[in-house]
Amino acid sequence: MSEKGYMEPGMEEMKKSENAVLQFMRQLLAVSGVVLYMIGTGANIAYPGVLLEQLRQSDSVLRLTPDHESWIASILGLALISGIVVAPFCLQKFGRRLTNQLSTLPALAGWGLLIAARAPTALLISRSLQGFGMGIQAACAPVSIAEYSAPKHRGAFLATIAFSFATGMLLAHTFGTLLYWRSAAVACASFYLVSLILISLSPETPPYLASVGKYNECCKSFRWLRGYTEESEKELSVLLDSQKNKAVTVTKESRLKMIASIFKKPEFYKPTIIMMFMFILFQISGMTVVPSYTVPMMDEVTDKAIEPYTSMLMVDVVRFVTAVIGCGVVNRLNRRTVLFIGVYVSVTSLFCAALLLYLRDFGYIPEEYKWVPAIPTLTYIFGKTLGILTIPWAIAGEIFPLQYRSLGSGISGMFLSIMFFVVVKTAPTSFRQIGVKGTFCVYGLCIAICGAFLFFLLPETKGKTLYEIECHFKGINETSDVSDPCEKDKMLELKKVEEG
């Protein structure tokens, strides 16, 4: 194929097939760097589950108090806040690629300090560095994946975020089961190093380049990812035209007025509110508590009838297998359907597990069946992984319009980090005061409340173009409410391209 996209007669179909594979592989390369980082994030979240268990041993080189333990597990949430605060600035000022690269550096530094730690303070500082990098990446990951992906691959690529979390958790617990905690930390840190290499091999995302007026670079990046086809060239033309028009409009307003006007636009504040509830649901479901405290939680659930590390790996395997299933399900079923299946299964399973634990405490369950509460507990892991882990990240990548993506991701991500800290920090106290059974009841009630809000707030996005989603939040009926004929033609062209 020449620079202008010319093809020899009779070779067009073969070239199209070859180019489609090449384009997919290039998009996969660009996305894989982010995916490797999110595997590291899953390992960060799960690592305390093995670290604290090994440090409780009598021959441990570090001695921790219960307060130390809760801080080591929860300080990621506080550090996430600082990372998410700077993420919108980084995304807009430095771009997606450089922001992804920079986010790996504090994570690698954190793992390095953890490997060399000789005191609890060093562990806390290392976890803070990891959390800071995670905060930047929490806002950057769905944005980067969505902007690298062609519309037909976007859903599957976004679903890999949930898969990455589950994979990282499984690997961290596996490493911690087989290796000394310092050696396990070396293995976990390797994900960030590979991530940095893959990110460095990828170009900047085309939408970001267009948004900052680098139109030639945008064309090069877009064509590297998507090749030269009639459909992709139309999509590129629409992208460039829309950003050029927006650039002219922005120069007529002061920055303060522009920010104020953004917060008043329904296509910004409605998706932001939805993502706030999504991330609150994500954390209040115990998504980060379970990996951090899997061993003590499962000890109480099974009454130590199952060996601790075996029960931990049972949870990880269920989570991993469900995440693999979720990658396929999210492209076949409606987003709302998958989310609310997860909510229903999680709530029902949590209450069933709590009921069985209460019955066992009162002596209604025979000794040989005292492990039975593990069944609804594992069902709860299945439900929350299928819907509550998978869907928020898929929605986050497609619900915000391009011009508000950095800001919206940062604000909604703030709720993710705050709830991370609150839920993980209070978990040990909750386990001590009301037990796992009482904690399950609280989580089940909170999931039900958040699910009820989202039932009325969340629109269906599967099968809809980004244009149609934006129209929904604007309250207009596609092009029927657009008076400018030129703008109507442009919107119809965008809709046609995205559907293609």
Give the CATH number for residue 258.
Answer: 1.20.1250.20
With pLDDT > 90 as the criterion, what percentage of the chain qualifies?
A: 26
pLDDT of residue 245: 63
Q: Report how far residue 53's alpha carbon sits from residue 44's, in angstroms, rounded to the nearest whole number.
A: 15
User: Do the domain assignments include residue 480?
Assistant: no
Per-residue pLDDT band at 486 (split at 50, 70, 90): very low
Q: Report how far residue 81's alpha carbon sits from residue 421's, in angstroms, rounded to the nearest whole number.
A: 9
Q: Report how far residue 324's alpha carbon sits from residue 321's, in angstroms, rounded to the nearest whole number.
A: 5
Per-residue pLDDT band at 8 (split at 50, 70, 90): low
User: Do the domain assignments include residue 431?
Assistant: yes
Co-location of 346 and 301 in the same domain:
yes
Query: Residue holding tokens 């007026």?
Result: 213
pLDDT of residue 272: 87
With pLDDT > 70 as the criterion, what percentage of the chain qualifies?
A: 87
Q: Judge whether 278 and 413 are in contact, CB under 8 Å.
A: no
Per-residue pLDDT band at 425 (split at 50, 70, 90): confident
**Of the listed ranges 48-52, 219-223, 431-435, 473-477, the one predicted with least confidence:** 473-477
pLDDT of residue 482: 46
pLDDT of residue 184: 92
Co-location of 217 and 298 in the same domain:
no
Q: Judge whether 101 and 204 are in contact, CB under 8 Å.
A: no
Co-location of 182 and 116 in the same domain:
yes
Co-location of 357 and 427 in the same domain:
yes
Cα angle 104-109-110, degrees, rounded to a multiple of 5: 100
SS3 (DSSP) at 397:
coil
3-state secondary structure 211-224: HCCCHHHHHHHHHH
Could you read off the pLDDT of 168-201 as tens digits, one per residue? 988 998 898 889 989 999 999 999 999 999 999 9
Q: Judge whether 168 and 45 are in contact, CB under 8 Å.
A: yes
Average pLDDT, the chain: 82
Q: Report how far residue 329's alpha carbon sits from residue 394's, in angstroms, rounded to the nearest whole number.
A: 12
pLDDT of residue 491: 52
Co-location of 41 and 96 in the same domain:
yes
Could you read off the pLDDT of 275-287 as tens digits, one per residue? 888 988 988 888 8
Per-residue pLDDT band at 402 (split at 50, 70, 90): low
Co-location of 98 and 158 in the same domain:
yes
Query: Residue holding tokens 């104020």?
Result: 260
Could you read off the pLDDT of 363-374 as tens digits, one per residue? 888 888 888 999
Q: Judge whether 292 and 73 are in contact, CB under 8 Å.
A: yes
User: Do the domain assignments include residue 487?
Assistant: no
Could you read off the pLDDT of 439-484 as tens digits, one per residue? 999 999 999 999 999 999 888 877 676 667 777 777 766 544 444 4
Co-location of 390 and 339 in the same domain:
yes
Co-location of 49 and 105 in the same domain:
yes
Q: Report how far residue 80's alpha carbon sits from residue 379's, in angstroms, rounded to the nearest whole number.
A: 29
Q: Report how far residue 33's alpha carbon sits from residue 457's, in angstroms, rounded to the nearest whole number.
A: 33
User: Do the domain assignments include residue 482?
Assistant: no
User: Do the domain assignments include residue 167?
Assistant: yes
Structural domain that includes position 442:
19-202+253-463
pLDDT of residue 376: 94
Radius of gyration of the chain (CA): 24
Q: Which of 469, 146, 408 is nearest to 278 (CA)?
A: 408
pLDDT of residue 463: 67
User: Do the domain assignments include residue 477?
Assistant: no
Co-location of 281 and 376 in the same domain:
yes
Q: Report how far residue 417's alpha carbon sits from residue 84's, in angstroms, rounded to the nearest whole number.
A: 8
Co-location of 242 and 329 in the same domain:
no
pLDDT of residue 379: 95
Q: Which of 182, 177, 170, 430 is nearest to 308 (CA)?
A: 177
98 pLDDT higher than 90: yes
pLDDT of residue 500: 46
User: Do the domain assignments include residue 11?
Assistant: no
Q: Report how far residue 486's alpha carbon sits from residue 416's, in angstroms, rounded to the nearest whole number.
A: 41
Per-residue pLDDT band at 159 (split at 50, 70, 90): confident
Co-location of 237 and 364 in the same domain:
no
Co-location of 115 and 248 in the same domain:
no
What domain count does the chain have?
A: 2
Q: Judge whether 160 and 31 are in contact, CB under 8 Å.
A: yes
Query: Residue holding tokens 């066992």?
Result: 360
Q: Cβ neighbours of residue 121 under 8 Å, at least 6 residues apart?
A: none
pLDDT of residue 2: 44
User: Do the domain assignments include residue 299?
Assistant: yes
pLDDT of residue 467: 64
427 pLDDT higher than 90: no
Q: Which tokens hold the place of 79?
A: 């550090």
Exposed e or buried b per residue across 36-56, where buried means at least 16 C-beta atoms within 10 angstroms of its C-beta: bbbbbbbbbbbbbbbbbbbbe
Per-residue pLDDT band at 1 (split at 50, 70, 90): very low
The distance from CA 73 to its chain's CA centroid, rounded to whole angstroms, is 19
Q: Report how far residue 433's alpha carbon sits from residue 423's, in angstroms, rounded to the nearest whole number.
A: 15
Q: What does pTM read for this prediction?
A: 0.74
**Of the listed ranges 126-130, 250-254, 330-334, the one predicted with least confidence:** 250-254
Q: Report how far residue 12's alpha carbon sits from residue 25's, in angstroms, rounded to the nearest whole number.
A: 20
**Residue that is last in its domain, among 193, 219, 252:** 252
